[in-house]
A and B are shown apart, each in its own frame.
Chain A
Amino acid sequence: MLPRKKVEIVVESLKVNRIIFELEEIGVPGFTIVGNISGKGANGVLDHNCKAKVFENTYIFTVCTIEQADKIVDYMQGVLQYFSGTCFVSDVNLFECPIKTAKNEIKNG
């Protein structure tokens, strides 16, 4: 089990492409995106029923190192100044399949 940080982001769908670009720049090993979500936050109910996508939210999560999580949080502070959404960071333990890990180690020399 590897200690890692889980970063969860709920943000306006229009901003997702830019955030994906940033996650890749930071070098996170992967991420999951759940689009077209509904819910209620500080800006009221978001019902994803808008053709302009401006009232639609998307959920993104990634599991990464502490350094990467810090970089994501720094970036999200700027985003959340103008765009509605939220960002959570929590401690998680990452289970890695032993065979997969051994294969990766061999592959990386």
Chain B
Amino acid sequence: MTGQIKTLHEMLVQKQISCTELTHTYLAAIEKDNGKLNAYVKVTPDTALATAKTVDEKIAKGEPIGLLEGIPMTLKDNISTKDIETTCCSKILSGYVPIYDATVWTLLKEQNAVLLGKTNMDEFAMGSSCETSCFGGAANPHNTDHVAGGSSGGVASAVAGNLAVYGLGSDTGGSIRQPAAFCGCVGLKPTYGAVSRYGLIAYASSLDQIGPITTSVEDAAILFDAIAKKDDMDSTSSGAKEPVADRLSAGLEGVKIGVAKEYFDGIKPEIQTALEGAIKVYESLGAQIIPFSLPILKYALPVYYILACAEASSNLGRYDGIRYGYRTDSYNGIHDMICKTRSEGFGAEVKRRILLGTYVLSSGYYDAYYKKAQNLRGNIVSAFQNAFADCDVILAPTVPVTAFEKGFSAKDAVETYLTDICTVPVNIAGLPGISLPCGFDGQGLPIGMQLIGNTFGEAKVLNTAFAYEAAAKDVFKKAQTGVRF
């Protein structure tokens, strides 16, 4: 299936539409629909149109253009953009304008990607509904009474609602895959280290990874190739093993797909049914289904919340009102200024995680929480390594539920945490994972299927996803046309 990027690229090259016209179309759509979706927290028409003009001039001169050149897109608001306010949707970063670009944005900017604006997210990427954003949550284009998911809810909402061709989000415990699943998009969380994190405002550094949200597997592969580069500025980055997009193939002969029963514990019946359908599709395509057990998954959530909060408590210490961002109005001395700034600048969910993280790292509790979680992390990594000795990819639900109704997460934080159960193991183990639509619930809300690969196994993951996409065109079509707002 040809994705949007290649289709639009051909139109630009064939001069069926100019880049400026294309950009205007998207800016108009944002103008019209963003009030309902709240996907964008900042729109950047001037830079978008300036880039579009550059691309049009190149086309007019007959110069060749790259695949991503002139394609309108968006970035989650935790990806640093020079001269464009970047807030992580937190009051504490209000007014903060980076003086440098994140590496991923440098890579795309060099290709004249047309940045339409910055998209909504849970504050500092902490949340599963986008509703902890200081700008309010982003709505689900399939049903605006439901959330877009989180934390990269704005990107998913924009891409599903056709307010951007694609967007880059970040995934610490499912923040790309979960909103992609909720909004019927494709969301790829690459292997830890495949994509540079330089310029991504950190939530939990050992888990964070940038990746694309798109409407097709091919688009996700194109973006993966574009951003998975080894970066000197990020010591933990290693780039991709090989380019993927040109070699996408739907052939599944001999591919072994593992299905661990623990992933299906307690999921909604409609999701169970949709995934069983997907498994049948894979069988019909010649893949071999390997049932297995991954009992250690029961530790994944506590391990995730301990490690993520611990790192967050350290990463967010720098927001003190001294150098940039929000500062409280009145204070009595430096200590008071920092306390008040942080009390007023952070939202409740962020404060909760800073407190949790500070607690688990404190002397006296360190061994019982942080150290134990680190040890278990090692065990989870090994369990996945063992699993990949017997299969090529693992198939699982992305989320045990479909998009929450608005307000659900605020009512029950723990219940919301529990819905991260299927996505966090991938981050803990540093594996690549993709979410793609595989059906709809009774309300017409999309259901996501997750495919997990071994480290740097993006090619296998994307090929397996590509095969399903080709065989289930109607699901993908409905995911795009089911948008009803």
Q: Judge: A and B partners, yes or no.
A: no
